[in-house]
Amino acid sequence: MSPSDNETVRNEDEQALDTLTDFVIGRGLGTPTAVMLEALRPLNFIGSQCMHGLTPLVSIFTDSMTWEHLARALEERSSIDRLIEKIEKREKEQSQSKS
């Protein structure tokens, strides 16, 4: 994999995290999701591997590429921190726009 391919994969993984953030914030579940992510932090790699295993089933209901990018992003320990930061930032932006 060339460096540009690796960068493209990273961008797609980040877009998957943004999609998940939008989904969570859109339903008003930012804080509960952040707490859950903190509690399950040690299991993020195992969870990502389960996601890879469930890809054929989930592809019936949703976009499998986004699912795979999200699973790949969650393989990294730092992804939980990035996801929590994105959720907190989006919640803060949303609360400021309502004020």
Residue 63 maps to a domain = yes
By CB atoms closer than 10 A (0-12, 13-18, 19+), residue 83 is buried
Q: Which residue has the tokens 């399950």?
A: 40
The DSSP H or E segment spanning 26 is helix 3-26
* Nearest Cα residue to 86 out of 12, 1, 15, 27: 15
pLDDT of residue 17: 93
Q: Is the pLDDT of residue 7 over 80?
A: no
- 11 is in which domain, residue-wise? 3-93
Residue 36 maps to a domain = yes
Residue 98 maps to a domain = no
pLDDT of residue 63: 86
Confidence of residue 77 (pLDDT cuts 50, 70, 90): confident
Question: CA 53, 55, 58: angle at the middle one, nearest 5?
Answer: 125
Residue 14 maps to a domain = yes
pTM (two decimals):
0.83
Average pLDDT, the chain: 89
Residue 57 maps to a domain = yes
Q: How many domains does the chain have?
A: 1
pLDDT of residue 62: 87
Residue 99 maps to a domain = no
